[in-house]
Every structure is written in structure tokens, then in C-alpha cells.
Amino acid sequence: MASHRRPKQPSRARVTVLTTAAAAAVVLSSQAANAAPSEKLSKDEVKSKVDKLYEEAEQATETFNGAKEKQEKLQKEISTIQDNVARGQADLNELRDSMGLAAAAQYRTGSIDPSLQLLLSSNPDDYLDKASAADQLSGQQVEALKKIQEKQRELAQERSEASAKLKDLATTRTELGKKKKEVQAKLAEAQKLLNTLTAKEKAALSAADARASRDAGERVDLGDAPAGSGRAMAAFQAAQTQLGKPYQYGATGTATYDCSGLTSWAYAQAGVHISRTSQDQANDGTRIYSKADLKVGDLVIFYGDQHHVGLYAGNGQVLHAPRTGTVVRYESINNMPFQFGVRI
């Protein structure tokens, strides 16, 4: 006969334990839910992280600029070599044609010189290396063959050079693509952080940045710093006309600029070509290691890796394109780690 027992009821102690565990779970869940807001970064923390990301983006930008400049240089060199190869091949064909006409004329008269048969060979070197055959060549034919040999060597060398530069170009393009993605990733990350701020916090940061950028038309006391050379002053005055223009990585004007884009553009207006990147511009002239010795128009290099550059404006000020989100403006030379000046 089946036994019909009532299910065993949980003890009061067990109920108490379960209830306590459930209550604890609710508390922990509540704490976890409340933890997210407490992890939100303050406005100042966001600004600090965003500034760091912008600095890293500018570092990548100067590498991007260098790769872009190298790409353009390689493309020009490759184009020149390819043009030379095309002209060289035409010259070689002309030399061979002229020798061919001489052979044809001798053939028609039945007196073809055996030496002219080397025209049928793709390698005149092999023929000329045979002394017995060389005796049968006229002085004019020898000179023509030497020209063919020389032209063949030139073409082989130029084709080899073009091949090497094409490989270098492919590597440079890969580097360019990587650095472009790196810059974009840094800027996107900075924007993501800024988006975590409230409207009021964003407005406060914008106001602070606006005060730093100043109005492009506002007069800045540049003191009585000694003027640089005529061209340095012309470059500085050209840069002054760009006050208020937005920063954009990789830009060289005249709508937008990055730091080295502004300085290279400014000196170009003075008729002076300087390098494209801040690191290269650091080697374009005489270095000035004392701030007190700077003259208006000197380049000013910042940061240990030399990834930022501006123009000395006098009275401890530089004129530069700072970073994303700012405009071409004056700023204290002490706001960034000064390395040295460069007198072009």
C-alpha cells in the first residue's frame, strides 16, 4: 500500500537563511545599479583624459604627415624613373633599328658582315666578349654596340630602382592607413568621453576653451621681442592672418591647419620651403635652447618627441594650431613642455 506522506516543510532556520540570502541579493543588486553613476568621471577628469587623447592624436598626426609626404615624394620619383625608362627604351630601339638597317643593306648586296648577326642576339655583351668576333667589327659598329650595352645596363638599373621604390611605396601606404585609423580612433574616443558630460558641463568646457582661443580680432600684447629676419617676420605676419582658423589633422590650409601645416604654410608665403612635419622642422635651422634668445618668427618645438610646433610671437607667446577642437591662436609658451627654438 502506497504511503501518502506530506512533503517535509522547510525548517524555520532554513527559511530565515533563504530570506536573508534573498535580501542580500537585492541589496547587492541595488548597490550594483547605483555603482554606475558613481563611476561617472567628473568634468575635470574627462577634460584631462580628452586632452591626453588629443595629444596622442597629434603625435600620430605628425607620423601620418611624414608618411603622406614620403608617399607623395615616392610617387614623383617613381613617375620620373618610369618616364626615363620609357625614353631609354625608345633610344635603345632606335639604336637597334639603325644597326638593323645596316645589316639589311648588307644582306641585300649579299655581303652581310657576320658581326652584324649579333643584332639577332638579345645580349650584345656575349658577342663582344668574343675577341674573334670583335675583329670583324668596324669602329662605328663597335661604338653603336657599346651604346646599346650601356643603354641596356641603364634600363636594368632604373627598372630595379623603380621596383624597390614601388615596394617602399606599398609599405608607406600601409603605414599611412594605420596612422590615419589611429588618429581617428583617438578622436572618436575623446568624443565618446565628451558625450558623457551633461549639457552644462560641456558648456563650461567650451567656454573655457573659447577664453583660451580668444577672439581672432583681439589684440594680444606681444611686447618688444626682437624681430627675426625679414623672411621670418613675413612668415609670422602670414600666420597672423590665419588666426581663428580651425585645427584639423593633416591640413595645410587655408581653411584648416594642423600645427606643422600652419608653420610650413606660413614660411611658404615668405618664399621659404621648410619640412612638413614638426620633427623634421626641428632640424631645418639653428637651434635656440634659451627662451630669452628667441626672436619673432622662430619656430618653437614642444614635447620630448617634438610632435608640436608653433611660431614665436614675442612676450612669451606662441602662435600655433593647438589641437582638435581649437583654432589658430596665441598661447603662452609655458603651457607646453618647451624643447628649443629653430631659427630658419
Q: What is the pLDDT of residues 73-128, one digit of tens each?
A: 999 999 999 999 999 888 888 888 877 655 555 555 555 455 555 554 556 566 55
| Lowest pLDDT segment from 96-105, 152-161, 227-236 | 96-105
Question: Which of these, 244, 195, 248, lies nearest to 54 by C-alpha position?
Answer: 248
Q: What is the pLDDT of residue 342?
A: 98
Q: What is the pLDDT of residues 136-149, one digit of tens each?
A: 556 667 777 788 88
In this predicted structure, the answer to whether residue 4 has a pLDDT above a threshold of 70 is no
In this predicted structure, the answer to whether residue 222 has a pLDDT above a threshold of 90 is no
Catalytic residue numbers read 259, 308, 320
Q: What is the pLDDT of residue 93?
A: 87
Q: What is the pLDDT of residue 206?
A: 81
What is residue 20's three-state secondary structure?
helix
Q: What is the pLDDT of residue 123?
A: 62
In this predicted structure, the answer to whether residue 306 has a pLDDT above a threshold of 90 is yes
Q: How confident is the model at residue 2 (pLDDT cuts 50, 70, 90)?
A: very low
Residue 319: how many CB atoms within 10 A of its CB?
26
ω into residue 63 within 30 of 0, thus cis?
no
DSSP 306: -
Work out the mean pLDDT of the chain and round it to a whole number. 81
Q: What is the pLDDT of residue 238?
A: 97
Q: What is the pLDDT of residues 241-292, one digit of tens each?
A: 999 999 999 999 999 999 999 999 999 999 999 999 999 999 999 999 999 9
Looking at the whole model, is its pTM more than 0.85?
no
Identify the helix (H) or strand (E) that includes residue 338.
Answer: strand 338-343
All cell numbers assigned to 242:
590665419
Q: Is 118 exposed, middle or buried (0-12, 13-18, 19+ CB in 10 A)?
A: buried
Provide the pairing of β-strand 299-302 with 329-332: unpaired
